[in-house]
Amino acid sequence: ILLYNQFKNAATQIVMNEQFLPIKSPEETETKVGDYIFEPNQKDIVDQLIPKSLKTQLFKSVLDSHASEHGARMTAMHKATDNAGEIKKELTLQYNKARQAAITGEILEIVGGAEALNG
């Protein structure tokens, strides 16, 4: 059994569960065309095709898993960037409010001192 993440899009990955070995043979069709002559013989062809098929299937699963990982990372980094922008806006607003309060406090002290002197 082969488990891997199949890439659908940057936000969606599907966990796949596929039978790796033994290879499933296609269903027999009701109509047979006839006997075929295989050159080289059928056993040699199967002996060469099965390893290539397994390597290709394994390579496909590795590529899908890598694409899924990169898509998930891209989505996570996009969300992190958006969150950082929101935090920056909130902190800038807090800073400006604190600065405004400090300036207002200083102005009130100056006005209060001037009124005390004018008495």
**What pLDDT sits at residue 32?**
61
In a domain, 28, yes or no: no
The DSSP-derived string for the chain is -EEEEEEEETTEEEEEEE--SSPPPPPPPS--------SS-HHHHHHHHHHHHHHHHHHHHHHHHHHHHHHHHHHHHHHHHHHHHHHHHHHHHHHHHHHHHHHHHHHHHHHHHHHHHH-
- Residue 10, domain extent: 2-21+42-118
Tens-place pLDDT, residues 55-90: 999 999 999 999 999 999 999 999 999 999 999 999
Tens-place pLDDT, residues 1-48: 888 899 898 888 899 998 877 777 666 545 565 677 778 888 888 889
In a domain, 32, yes or no: no
* Number of separate domains in the chain: 1
In a domain, 80, yes or no: yes
In a domain, 85, yes or no: yes
In a domain, 89, yes or no: yes
* Distance of alpha carbon 41 from alpha carbon 38, whole angstroms: 5
Q: Does this model's pTM top 0.75?
A: no
In a domain, 36, yes or no: no
In a domain, 114, yes or no: yes
